[in-house]
Amino acid sequence: MIDQKISMQFAKKRVVVTGGTGMIGRQVVNKLCNMGAWVICVSLDDIKTDQRAEKFYADLTDLSVCHNITKNADYVCHLAGIKGSVDATKSMPASFLVPLMMMNTNILEACRVNEVEKVVYTSSIGAYAASDCFREEDDTFSQPPMDEYPGWAKRMGELQVAAYRHQYGLDNFAIVRPCNVYGPGDNFDPKNAMVIPTLIHRIVSGEDPVTVWGDGTAIRDFAYSADIADGILLALHHGTRGSFVNLGSGIDVSISDLVSTLHDFLDFNHRFDTTKPSGYSRRVMDISRARDWFNYQPAVGLRDGLEATYSWYMEHLEDGEGRQNYFCED
């Protein structure tokens, strides 16, 4: 997806990737290393990633730390965040809102003060108000975000970038809103994981039948992490023209179709639990803007992505032990 001319622009650049051990972050780190960038991978996770990157253990809720890690950086990819299930969001909203807002505010301000050449801020589909299909031009802050607490935190980061543009005339901050992303390195903890890693965990653990929340009719946009990583780097290179860009697959997939695709290569029984909530009936992104602005072309189909995610999980069953858990209360 990223042509050689663009790849060459990253060579020998000092690039900070926050959340570099996360599902998307590790893909971004790997791609940047392949392009010849000097990569600083920032995280609180005790997880090994690309050995070519410099690992920096840092708490981004500390502004002074953010100033230190962004000093002398050419580019910053701010991917660090907190990801969890709908249930975790509702039951522990402060665990989402407070550290997420602190991270975003601190790293964006540090990038401004240190005059970082290019920055990409990763927002979320959850920052949108409720709708069936999400188009950038239809967005309005007049309605609350779908994902109440994390959605507001992501919106505040976007507003911070808009404030920099208004007051300082800064156009070097790009913004992307990814959809439901999955892939190697995902969070597979069934207590707070999203639907795909939760189902894979239940299948591997031998649950019989595997319980699937809802009736299977809910529609989602599932995008593979490597495709999203390409989109983030394209947005960093091209910018997002004082706005933001959707990153997804652009394909409607029902939960029932998701389960059927898993059945194509895994042997398990399942049942739909209609006493459990299905969430929004449809959440799909229009990715026309990303295609038009910087030729974003997702390449990994659902089955290939699911097989790669499953294979990775089977080889890294212990990876979750080193992951920072914001939902573990002292």
Q: 2-29, pLDDT tens digit by residue? A: 999 999 999 999 999 999 999 999 999 9
Mean pLDDT of 234-253: 97
Over the stretch 122-135, which tens digit does the pLDDT of each residue have? Answer: 999 999 999 989 99
207: Cα separation from own chain's centroid? 28
What pLDDT band is residue 319 in, cutting at 50, 70 and 90?
low
CB atoms closer than 10 angstroms to residue 217: 12
Over the stretch 93-124, which tens digit does the pLDDT of each residue have? Answer: 888 889 999 999 999 999 999 999 999 999 99
Contacts of 262 (CB under 8 A, 6+ apart): 199, 200, 203, 268, 306
Contacts of 328 (CB under 8 A, 6+ apart): none
Mean pLDDT of 77-91: 78
Mean pLDDT of 167-182: 97
- Residue 325 pLDDT: 53
- Residue 81 pLDDT: 87
Mean pLDDT of 45-68: 94
* From 63-72, 182-191, 220-229, 321-330, the region with the lowest mean pLDDT: 321-330
- Residue 227 pLDDT: 98
Three-class secondary structure assignment of 65-93: HHHHHHCCCCEEEECCCCCCCHHHHHHCH
Largest Cα separation within the chain, whole Å, is 58
What pLDDT band is residue 140 in, cutting at 50, 70 and 90?
confident
Over the stretch 294-317, which tens digit does the pLDDT of each residue have? Answer: 999 999 999 999 999 999 999 998
> Does position 77 have pLDDT exceeding 90, yes or no?
yes
- Residue 321 pLDDT: 47
CB atoms closer than 10 angstroms to residue 296: 27
- Residue 147 pLDDT: 86
Q: What DSSP character marks residue 148?
A: H
Over the stretch 271-284, which tens digit does the pLDDT of each residue have? Answer: 999 999 888 899 99
> Does position 193 have pLDDT exceeding 70, yes or no?
yes
> Does position 327 have pLDDT exceeding 60, yes or no?
no
Q: What average pLDDT does the structure give for the chain?
A: 93
219: Cα separation from own chain's centroid? 19
pTM confidence score: 0.94
